[in-house]
Chains A and B, each alone.
Chain A
Amino acid sequence: MAVIEPTNTLEQILVPYKGATGWRGEFAERLKRDGLPTKRDEDWKWSDVTRASKGILGKGKVQFRSSVNPEWTEVRRSANQDFFSSLLAFAATMNVTYFEPRNLTVLDLDFRALRGVSQAAATIIGAAGQSIRVHEHYSCEEQAFSAIGVDYVVGPGASVERVILIDECPKSVLLLSSGVTLHETGEFVQTVVSQGGKLVRHETQLHSAGKGAKATLNAAYLVGKSAQADLVTRVNMDGPGGELSQLTKGIAYGGGHGVFQGKIHVKQAAQKSDAKMTHKGMIVDEKSKIDSKPELEIYADDVECAHGNAIGTLDEMALFYMQQRGLPEADARRLLVESFLDEALAEISHEQTATTIRALISKRLKDLV
């Protein structure tokens, strides 16, 4: 006799959130109250988690390795500890303490979601005056439903660069979230490259204290063959004189679906904030789509805030121009799309990382036509 198992019970999802504080705690509370987000939830209207995760069953795992500890390790989080002891437990698993990575300027983190339902979390702290660069890589087995949170605290005068590469997860759901606390005079530069999946969502919630704090949130998404990639940002300008620069570029082809939801909330105290958010999407064929919703919520009167949003198709004239010079159509298309996305990769400071990502995008785009 067949056994009917419940799908993705909330208990299963909520276990690692026990004792969580901050926005993740709030998220857990909301999850308990409302269940998994549905399309009726404005923040999730294009990310249909319930539907995408249907049929993904059982207890999963998140494997982890880093440049400090290159062996795959299972991420463990203790459910009955408070946030910081959980963090310590996690740091211990990784065999490194991330509170003060004084002699660690580059960190590679590799997360892999195995089949089933799983969660993991980590916090990385750039202490005052430090400069660190973190590369995060995410991949999935088939039939995985995983929520992974990586939080950052960027201290005064600290500088954190974060590059996130998300592999394609064709049969899996990956919900990645980040809380970023940016202190005065701190600098945070993030570049996300997402290749989508059954549903792959990357969400960044950033609080900027202003007073010289600078944040850059760039992202590139490329989705094909029924994949979906959602890029979500929620930026709170809390204090005066903060800067934010945001650029998201993406392409959808072969039935892919791209989503950008960005919100900048400028508090009344955040006078002299300078924030700009741009999203540019390119839909290559009629089967594909891109949804976007950029929002500004401004409660201060002396600010420079702007947002731009443009969705277009491949420039036929540019395509013809390149072909006229001898490039076959497929090469011309690939080059056009690569050059379109390239702008979003401009802030990756490490040349080799940028080259690797460009090569990966180029390879990925071979099936564009």
Chain B
Amino acid sequence: MLEIKNLHASVGDDKPILKGLDLSVPAGEVHAIMGPNGSGKSTLSYVLTGRDGYVVTDGTVMYDGEDVAELTPDARAAKGLFLSFQYPVEIPGVPTLTFMKEALNAQRRARDEAEMSAPDFMKHVREKAKLLNISSDMLKRPLNVGFSGGEKKRLEILQAAVLEPRFLILDETDSGLDIDALKVVSDGVNALRSPTRGMLVITHYQRLLDHIAPDVVHVMSAGKIVASGGPELARELEAEGYDKYVRAA
């Protein structure tokens, strides 16, 4: 589903961050990427979703058999790529519900699908919100404004549930969450697991992976994948740290 080959990318004009990254995530699988600060994990998430200033200098990013590196962020979103942000952005003046409806219908228009009517949309959101413990009052508030860290992360997962993307990238979704919130968010993510959907979970810590069991764990260091293995690799990293991978890179 996602095939990354020899990916080199820079931030700005001349700051190479990704240096020959290879990664393959088939549909239905959850892959985790762990790695020390500065290894390029967040850069990878921005490169995959097309943030301005993150430039692919070599290699390919194939998503569903199509090279998406030249597409705009919204075109990639319409094709089903979703990024759960490490720091969800506050947007004053735009009610959460309005934003989600605009986003969903913009994606549908881009895919030549009929827009969802207001009553259908409300029904659609209510079902998903209940699972994530999100009140209708919260949905009326401006997007992420004044939300706690946990609320913001729950809202990211709600947006994923509402937009029904085909591939999710979760960038440090566990940061800023207490134990209870981590469970709610993980349950929300697990509910999105499906044989047709792929996921890339970026994290520093093993604890998220106790809730969202990955099929494959990758270690990233200095802009590339330096080791891959099963869930036991995450436990090894938790016990021994990244040191040997950093030195090997």
Contact = CB atoms under 8 A, between A and B. Distances in A.
Interface of A: 315-318, 320-329, 331-332, 335-336, 338-340, 342-343
Contacts of B83: 324
B93 A329 contact: no
A146 B82 CA distance: 54
A327 B103 contact: yes
Contacts of A318: 89-91
A4 B33 CA distance: 78
Contacts of A326: 74, 77-78, 103-104, 106-107, 110, 163
Contacts of A331: 102, 106
B73 interface: yes
A315 B93 contact: no
B85 interface: yes
B93 A327 contact: no
B146 interface: no
Nearest to B76: A324
Given A325-B163, A326-B77, A326-B103, 8 more contacts: A315-B89, A321-B85, A326-B106, A327-B103, A328-B72, A328-B110, A342-B93, A343-B92
A127 to B, nearest CB: 36
Contacts, number: 74
Contact-size category for B: 20 to 34
B51 interface: yes
B103 A343 contact: no
A327 B94 CA distance: 13
Contacts of A342: 93
29 contacts: A316-B52, A317-B89, A318-B89, A321-B88, A321-B91, A322-B91, A323-B72, A323-B73, A323-B77, A324-B49, A324-B76, A324-B77, A324-B82, A325-B100, A326-B78, A326-B103, A326-B104, A326-B107, A326-B110, A327-B103, A328-B72, A328-B106, A331-B102, A331-B106, A335-B94, A339-B92, A339-B93, A339-B94, A342-B93
